[in-house]
């Protein structure tokens, strides 16, 4: 439609698009190129910190690898992140490598629209910047959007300890496939960070796309613990092994045994092992992708279903 072409010239594209995607669909493939090798990291990389922007993977791809995102169906290059090796995190059995994101570019829009659209988006970010509030630099947000070319699932994380219970959304999460580990990057200001470090147990609920509104509302739990599980606006049940309260309507419940945690930039990186998995229902799951990715797919006539 002509409007899809004209609109991005007038109004900035949304940074994020909230979309309904079936679990396990690999619409975009991520490969890490470094040290003369290239390896599929679609299920083996995750964001570890927002300030500075850092990526964790169980591969050591040398000093300056390049992360490429390609459309799985066509092989088209959608985006690139340039990385510089930082530190390693060693857990009991595996080593995770952390990389700074030093540069990035996407190819979802042709020039000059790409540069114009970035300018419009950055202008809005700078205008809406609240003093004393957490807000990464526009260039880092643009790079973060590239990391979201692989649509990222949103989950609800449940935490329970005597005197503290909480449930909040996270999407800086994911498997680090080769190590068999799973990571969560939670801002160190979250009131649940010390509890998670102590209890070393959380329940992760994959959420149907239809629950978007309630999931966003739960972001408030960043600063306030939940007064009572019964106050939640949806039915709940206990998780299988840990007995932590989770939404009854979750598509899948996983229980995570946390084996390591450490501060990485603005976030605390929790690394753990999935110790149980209950697949409860079929259906599309709440995901986020970059607004320019959705614009690209819309132009091709294959947009993600937006929620
Ligand atoms: C869909 C969604 C996903 C989120 N994922 C994360 C996450 O992975 N890590 C994190 O630290 N916070 C995550 N948040 C929480 C928000 O960043 C947090 O609640 C928000 O920043 C409010 O805190 P603030 O007022 O201190 O900024 C997420 C929030 C939403 C709505």
Cis before 112 (ω within 30)? yes
Domain ranges for the chain, please list them: 2-150, 152-286
What is the secondary structure of 165-211 as a DSSP string?
EEEEEE-SEEEEGGGTEEEEEEETT-TTHHHHHHH-EEEEEE-BGGG
At 304 the pLDDT is 97
Q: Which residue among 170, 173, 185, 205 has the greatest number of ligand 1 atoms within 8 angstroms of its CB, and so is best to mutate? A: 170
* HSE (side-chain half, CA atoms, 13 Å) at 22: 5
Q: Which residue among 222, 225, 307 has the greatest number of ligand 1 atoms within 8 angstroms of its CB, and so is best to mutate? A: 222
Cis before 294 (ω within 30)? no
At 3 the pLDDT is 66
Closest residue to atom 19 of ligand 1, CA basis: 219
pLDDT digits (tens, 9 = 90+) for 189-240: 999 999 999 999 999 999 999 999 999 999 877 788 898 999 899 999 999 9
Closest residue to atom 31 of ligand 1, CA basis: 216
> Which atom of ligand 1 lies at the shortest distance from residue 267's CA?
11
Which letter, b or e, does each residue of 45-72 get, where b requires 16 or more Cβ atoms within 10 Å of its Cβ? bbbbbbebbbbbbbbbbeeebbbbbbbe
C-beta neighbour count of 235 within 10 angstroms: 8
Q: Which residue among 16, 219, 263, 270 has the greatest number of ligand 1 atoms within 8 angstroms of its CB, and so is best to mutate? A: 219
CATH number of 2-150: 2.30.110
Same fold, 2-150 and 152-286: yes
Q: Which of 239, 229, 15, 16 is nearest to 218 (CA)?
A: 229
Binding pocket residue ranges, ligand 1, CB within 6 Å: 134, 154, 169-172, 185-187, 189-190, 215-216, 219, 222, 267
Kindly state the tokens that stand for 304: 């993600």
> Which atom of ligand 1 lies at the shortest distance from residue 216's CA?
31
pLDDT < 70 stretches in the chain = 1-8
Q: Are strands 267-279 and 95-106 parallel, antiparallel or unpaired?
A: unpaired
At 118 the pLDDT is 92
Query: 169 C-alpha vs ligand 1 centroid, how far in Å?
Result: 7
Question: Cβ(181)–Cβ(51) under 8 Å?
Answer: no
At 16 the pLDDT is 95
- Look up the pTM and report it: 0.94
CATH number of 152-286: 2.30.110.10
Question: Cβ(98)–Cβ(56) under 8 Å?
Answer: yes
At 130 the pLDDT is 76
């Amino acid at each position: 439609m002509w409007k899809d072409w004209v609109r991005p010239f007038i109004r900035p594209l949304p940074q994020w698009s909230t979309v309904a995607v079936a679990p396990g669909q690999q619409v975009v493939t991520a490969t890490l190129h470094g040290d003369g090798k290239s390896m599929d990291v679609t299920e083996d990389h995750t964001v570890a910190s927002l300030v500075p922007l850092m990526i964790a993977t169980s591969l050591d791809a040398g000093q300056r690898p390049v992360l490429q995102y390609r459309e799985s169906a066509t092989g088209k290059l959608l985006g690139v992140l340039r990385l510089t090796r930082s530190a390693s995190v060693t857990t009991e059995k595996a080593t995770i490598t952390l990389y700074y994101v030093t540069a990035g570019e996407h190819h979802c829009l042709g020039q000059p629209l790409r540069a114009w659209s970035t300018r419009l988006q950055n202008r809005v970010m700078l205008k809406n910047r609240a003093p004393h509030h957490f807000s990464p630099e526009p260039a880092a947000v643009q790079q973060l959007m590239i990391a979201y070319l692989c649509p990222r699932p949103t989950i609800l994380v449940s935490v329970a300890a005597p005197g503290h219970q909480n449930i909040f959304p996270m999407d800086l999460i994911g498997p680090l496939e080769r190590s068999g580990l799973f990571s969560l990057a939670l801002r160190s200001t979250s009131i649940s960070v010390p509890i998670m470090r102590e209890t070393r147990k959380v329940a992760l609920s994959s959420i149907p796309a239809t629950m978007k509104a309630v999931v966003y509302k739960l972001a408030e739990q960043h600063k306030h613990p939940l007064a009572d599980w019964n106050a939640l606006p949806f039915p709940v049940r206990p998780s299988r092994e840990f007995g932590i309260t989770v939404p009854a309507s979750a598509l899948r419940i996983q229980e995570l045994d946390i084996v390591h945690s450490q501060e990485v930039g603005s976030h605390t990186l929790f690394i753990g092992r999935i110790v149980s998995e209950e697949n409860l229902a079929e259906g599309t799951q709440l995901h986020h992708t970059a607004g320019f990715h959705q614009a690209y797919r819309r132009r091709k006539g294959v947009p993600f279903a937006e929620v």
